[in-house]
Amino acid sequence: MREVECHCGAVRITLLEPSETVTSCNCSICRRYGALWSYGTLETIKVTAPSGGLEEYAWGEKGLAFVRCRGCGCVTHWESRSAEYPDRIAANMRNASPEDLLKLGVRRFDGAETWTYLD
């Protein structure tokens, strides 16, 4: 289990089966956020936030919603809005402690073009 929280502490994410690697994606949104994603499902990644404490951004076909804390603005996770994969979620491990971040391997994913890992 691993826990991360946003800068102000309002949003907490618990990863019940955390991966040892995170993904750095170069797509149009991930590269701008600078996020490092740990993927899971609604069963393995739990988000706790106060009522009204989250804001989200989606574009295009709106298959994913990128969620941030309304208080401090940190991007905390994305959630699927797709009917095909409704339980998909990923936590932004940039919210982890420096000690935990050091332990994580980073994989580079080409979300911009080929949808394959570059390493």
- Would you tell me which residues interact with Zn ion (CB under 5 A)? 6, 8, 10, 69, 71-72
| CB nearer Zn ion, residue 11 or residue 45 | 11
- The contacts of residue 99 (CB under 8 Å, 6+ apart) are none
Nearest-Å Rg of the Cα atoms of the chain is 14
Which secondary-structure segment (H or E) carries 3? strand 2-5
In the three-class reduction of DSSP (H, G, I as helix; E, B as strand; rest coil), residue 102 is classed as: helix
What size, in residues, is the chain? 119
State in angstroms the smallest separation of the CB of 112 from Zn ion. Answer: 28
| CB nearer Zn ion, residue 72 or residue 104 | 72
State in angstroms the smallest separation of the CB of 16 from Zn ion. Answer: 22
State in angstroms the smallest separation of the CB of 49 from Zn ion. Answer: 9
| CB nearer Zn ion, residue 2 or residue 68 | 68
